[in-house]
Structure 1
Amino acid sequence: MQVFSTFETTGYLELAISTLEKKGIKRESIYVVPLDNRTADRRLFDSIHRSDGTTLIDIGMALATAFSVIGASIGFKLSWGPIYWGLIGAVVGFVVGLAIRLFIEMVLKKRKRVLKGKYSDIIVIIDCEESQAETIESILWNSFAIGVAKVK
């Protein structure tokens, strides 16, 4: 039987391995593999085959509507008339909204993505007997493993 678990790079991993060795698991039965985390930035624009669920035009559309109404209202007093000023207001509102959304996605959410969440840095694979699996699993969970799985 094999027990798989993922850990962050902390001292708890070393404590877990030493505890497993004290419980009778041989050093040759414990495999520790470091993971390479993603280094490339996520794409900002979606394709037809992949989408991350965020949209860039939602604020732009809302501001385009608001600015077009304001532009059309003011356009009655201006020389070009309400239709041209409504269209100008819509374009300006959309561009302002798109700029706001791009700033939010590229600057603010990038900082949160880097700071938020726990990342699996190391995979631990343990070969053991079925009778030892429950003990190993509890040791791994008590050592703050991110995830644990058993495979027969």
Structure 2
Amino acid sequence: MQLFSTFETTHYLEMAISKLEKRGMKKENIYAVPLDNRSEERKVFDSLHRSDGTSLIDIGMALGTAFSVIGASIGFKLSWGPIYWGLISAMIGFALGFAIRLFTELVVKKRKRLLRGKHSEIILIINCEESQAELIENILWNHFALGVAKVKER
């Protein structure tokens, strides 16, 4: 049987490995594989085949609507009339909202993405007997594994 688990690079991983060795696991049956984390920046603009679920035009649409109502109301007193001023102010409101949303995605949320979340950095693969699987799984969970999976050999 094989057990797979993911860990962050911490001293808990080393403690889990040493505890497994104390419980009789041979070093040849424990494999630690470091992962390469994503080094490229995430893309802000979505494509046809990939979307991150965030919209850049939601604030722009709301501000465009609000600005167009205000622009059309003021446009009755101005020379071009309410239609032109409503359209002009709608474009200004949309551009302002789009710029606000783009700023929050590029600057504010980038900082949050860097600070937040746990990333798997090491995969620990353990070959063992089925009778030892429960004990090993408990040891891994007690040493803060991010995930554990069992695979039975055929």
TM-score, normalization by structure 2? 0.97
**Whole-Å separation in 2 of the counterparts to 1:103 and 1:125:** 42
Map Cα deviations across residues 84-114 of structure 1 (whole Å, 9 max, x no partner).
1101100100000000000010011111111
Check if 1:127 corresponds to 2:127.
yes
Check if 1:71 corresponds to 2:71.
yes
Letter of the aligned partner of 1:15 in structure 2? M
Map Cα deviations across residues 70-92 of structure 1 (whole Å, 9 max, x no partner).
01100111111111110110010
**Whole-Å separation in 1 of the counterparts to 2:115 and 2:131:** 40
**Whole-Å separation in 2 of the counterparts to 1:15 and 1:130:** 22
**Whole-Å separation in 1 of the counterparts to 2:25 and 2:34:** 20
TM-score, normalization by structure 1? 0.98
Shift of 1:47: 1.0
Letter of the aligned partner of 2:125 in structure 1? I
SS in 2 for 1:100: helix
**Whole-Å separation in 1 of the counterparts to 2:145 and 2:138:** 10
- Please list every run of at least 4 consecutive aligned residues from structure 1 whose deviation after the TM superposition is greater than 2 angstroms: none
Identity of aligned residues (%): 76
Map Cα deviations across residues 54-79 of structure 1 (whole Å, 9 max, x no partner).
11111001111110110110011111
| Residue aligning to 2:116 | 116
Residue-pair matches, total:
152
Check if 1:8 corresponds to 2:26.
no
| Residue aligning to 1:107 | 107
SS in 1 for 2:6: strand
Check if 1:24 corresponds to 2:46.
no
* Structure 2: gaps (5+ residues): none
User: How large is the RMSD of aligned CA atoms in angstroms?
Assistant: 0.6
| Residue aligning to 1:80 | 80
SS in 1 for 2:91: helix
SS in 2 for 1:5: strand
* Structure 1: gaps (5+ residues): none
Shift of 1:52: 1.1
| Residue aligning to 1:46 | 46
